[in-house]
Amino acid sequence: MMRWWQAFSRTLTGLLTRPMWLLLMVSLCLMSMIYARGSVWDLPVAVVDMDHSRASYRIARDLGATAKIDTIHYDRLPAALRDLGWRRLFAVVILPQDLEKKILAGKAVTIPVYGDATNRLAGGQIQMDVTAAYQQLVADYQQKRLQLSGMDATRAAALNAPFIGQTQDVFNPGIGFAAIIFPGLLIMLLQHSLLLASTRINLMLRARGPLPLAEVLGTLSALLPIWLFLSAILYLLWPWVMGYRQTGSVTAVLGLTFAFLLAVLGLGKLLTECLDRTEHIYLTLSFVTTPVYYLSGTLFPLQSMPVWVSVFSHLLPSTWAVQVLASVNQMGLPWQHTLPKVGVLLLMGPCYALLGVGVGRWRQRRRDRRAARRVPPLT
């Protein structure tokens, strides 16, 4: 116990003396400030009115009244497309000729929309607003036609919209796009930074030769208070500052994060023994962070992935941590329901660590055999 405490206190003092780990908190806070407004607002959209009718004026007015769109009227289509190419606009909406006549005649109407496909978030918001404005216009025209045919307003409304949909935000992840991707992004950054720190410490321990197990565990466990502090800041304090919805208690979030950190420490031991050199570790971790983010299920559902890809993604601690922490802290799931997945994380840590020890001993035996072959025989 004394060896563990001495190694723990020595390593923790060194980390506190040179707090390079604070760069993780600064970088994530700066990164998330782009979502300070919650979502996208006032997107510049061009409206080219070729009909100049009451229907086209109403569609243009309804688009401009939405919070997502800031309409800019153009007289000519080429000028609007040129500004779209220069990314001064997010979309170009064309209101074609004879728009009102076709609506009154009951004919199909196509409203062409040119969008900037490089920004899917903005494009999706614009598409929904354009569709909603057109559907509301058609519904109002249909309501008037039914009333002119002799039907009272109540029956006409019931015939025009027999079902009234209502959305209830039972599991609302937050106020904007950032609240959806924030848990996965945070998990990736915590995993990447802890892997870098743990592999560096493992290399330093290996360079010192065979050490008692208590000293090794004490040195590595000194990383846990630092990364638990980062988790508390980034998972509890900063989302509260940004206004994201949080449903998990402080103890539940830190307890779930603790299981995730143990799994990452075990994975760090395995990576250290497999990659063996410092430059190999840093280069590998620099290139795998983005693929691991896509494999975590934050941006694409795990059920839709190929089977072998899904199996590989479930071998990573980040995949399980995203499911657990997002379910508890954003979706309101009781932490007791996540215990099977937490058990997987707790099992990953020692399994990866033991596998890393086995790989390290195997590589050491290879080094010993090579060294023995180089020694010349005694004469």
Mean pLDDT by 10 residues, the chain (379 residues): 83 82 77 68 89 88 85 91 89 89 81 80 78 79 79 76 63 55 80 88 83 85 90 82 78 91 92 81 77 81 86 90 85 86 93 90 82 66
The reply to whether 25 falls in a domain is no
Assess contact for 324 and 239: CB atoms under 8 A: no
**Residue 332 belongs to domain spanning:** 176-366
CA atoms in the 13 A half-sphere facing the CB of 47: 21
pTM of the model: 0.75
Together in a domain, 219 and 151: no
Does residue 122 lie in a domain region?
A: yes
**What is the pLDDT, as a whole number, of residue 35?**
67
Residue 303 DSSP class: G
Q: What is the pLDDT of residue 46?
A: 92
Cβ(62)–Cβ(137) below 8 Å: yes
CA 31 and chain centroid, separation: 13
Residues 153 and 180 in one domain: no
What's the pLDDT at 224?
92
Give the ranges where 22-119 is alpha helix by DSSP (H): 22-32, 54-65, 77-85, 99-104
Q: Say yes or no: 190 and 143 in one domain.
A: no
Number of domains in the chain: 2
Phi, psi of 121 (to 5 degrees): -65, -50
Dist CA 26 CA 85 (whole Å): 35
The domain spanning residue 131 has which CATH number? 3.40.1710.10
**Where among 130, 159, 188 does a domain terminate?**
159
